[in-house]
Amino acid sequence: MDRPLEGIRVLDLTQAYSGPFCTMNLADHGAEVIKIERPGAGDQTRSWGPMENDFSGYYAYINRNKKGITLNLASEEGKKIFTELVKTADVVCENYKVGVLEKLGFSYEALKEINPRIIYGSISGFGLTGDLASRPCYDIVAQAMSGMMSVTGFADGPPCKIGPSVGDSYTGAYLCMGVLMALYEREKTGVGRRIDVAMVDTLFSTMENFVVEYTIAGKHPHRAGNQDPSIAPFDSFHAKDADFVMGCGTDRMFAGLCKAMSKEDLIDDPRFKTNLDRCENYLKDLKPIIEEWTQTKTVDELEEIISSLSIPFGPIYTIPEIAEHALTKERNMLWDVYQPGMNTTIRIPGSPIKIHGEEDKAQKGAPILGEDNVAVYSEVLGLSAEEIKALEENNVI
């Protein structure tokens, strides 16, 4: 079946995680993504574990469904080839240090002259302009500078990084959204756009209530463990055998919980009558009452009771537990794909975007370095076998 982005060609100059996450999502849904890497070296993640047969599982996950070519953009011949590729493309995505592509002669203005329809998407740490623009950035820096680490962890502990690289994931997803918006607009105008997404901006924008607690209420948000600053009870709790989480987002949910605990008197208790009251009296008064009850039951018992009340509830799973869970299988969130280089079939996270009528599986594994040189340079640019061989000998590709 057709995929929504079939017919769209993306030149992927990204590396590491944030940019490849964007282009992976485009490739998953039909775009022809041509990943362009340095000859002999490739994306830095090719050396990131886990490794199998000297091939990176990290790279395999984030670069599935893409074609792969090598090209030396610093060489004059390489610049000419890239220029010809731009003429055939719809989108260019990059996450180089700000200014690198401009020095090579490939600013947005230059690419727009080559192809007015081109959509040029960039990811950086701090944006394309300003005092910090030229600084490199990884996810941990974005988490630190966005305020995210300052509110993550427990009150009596240090600021803490969230486990996965959410700065990369969110920024890649935002760039993907920007590309799709620009593609839609181009259908009406016939011209492309410049898209500028910064990692610190991205995480700042996802800080939910923390920012408006400061800008509107004048509060100084702080670390509070798993507790939500604006809803109570909304936290992790101890059961007899393990911890779990639940959240009561409405008075109705809280009333249901009180009845389940056989503590109906708490419903009209002035300490807990409204959500604001519950937040103000949560740690000292409300949480101990709830945990006095939850610690008499197992997680399985609590799941049956609390879920039956339509109160959001969840066990705290390990990665192996959720990877093998029935939900993951039902939602097809682990894809089997044969990975060249590893020479075996591997399991990688699938796409959470389930488009009905679209085949929900990987189309191909990530490319080995330069895997599609012959196909792309001959089919897209019409180069002969002799010309391609000469480019290889001259270290252009």
Domain range annotation of the chain? 9-205+327-393, 234-238+243-315
- Give per-residue pLDDT as tens, 75-101: 999 999 999 999 999 999 999 999 999
Q: Give pLDDT, residue 223.
A: 94
| CA dist., res. 168 & res. 233, Å (int) | 31
- CATH 3.40.50.10540, domain 9-205+327-393, yes or no: yes
> What are the catalytic residues?
168
**What value does the mean pLDDT of the chain take?**
96
Percent of the chain clearing pLDDT 70 (strictly above): 100
Q: Give pLDDT, residue 1.
A: 66
> Which of 3.80.30.20, 3.30.1540.10, 1.10.357.10, 3.40.50.10320 would CATH assign to domain 234-238+243-315?
3.30.1540.10
This prediction's pTM: 0.94
Q: How would residue 2 be classed by pLDDT, with cut points 50, 70 and 90? A: confident
- Give per-residue pLDDT as tens, 12-63: 999 999 999 999 999 999 999 999 999 999 999 999 999 999 999 999 999 9
The dihedrals phi and psi of 152, each to the nearest 5 degrees, come to -115, 130
**Could you please report the per-residue DSSP string of 45-108?**
GGGPSSEETTEEHHHHHHTTT-EEEE--TTSHHHHHHHHHHHHH-SEEEE-PSTTHHHHTT--H
